[in-house]
Structure 1
Amino acid sequence: MGWLQSLFSPLKKLWFRLHSAPKKRRGIYILYEDVKSCPYEDVHVLWSILVESHTLRTKV
């Protein structure tokens, strides 16, 4: 029966990982709400540059 448990253990871990509460997104986008609420225009310009460079890197 030990082999049966060793077979189902990884499947059980995968099941719990897929059906657990979703985690917050990671990366630069966790700062999006802070940047959006910031009143300074230069912060918004820097954010747009950062997002553009990030999307260019992910496309390549």
Structure 2
Amino acid sequence: MKAAELRDMSDEQLELTLQETATGYFRLRLQANTERLDAPSELRRHRRLIARIKTIQRQRLATK
């Protein structure tokens, strides 16, 4: 998901997306520790998406 798409979301949608992404990232980390991942790049994708969402949330807080 691109940053522009995230900026168009409401605060509630961002929070929900963050929770879903963090849960998915947690599951992937567990899977990576117990077995081989089919797509290890998914870990990086989830981690970066979480960072993007948190950055946008902080920017919104700073402008309020």
Q: Which has the larger radius of gyration?
A: 1
TM-score (norm 1): 0.40
TM-score (norm 2): 0.38
Asked which structure has the greater RCO (Cα within 8 Å, sep 6+), the reply is: 2
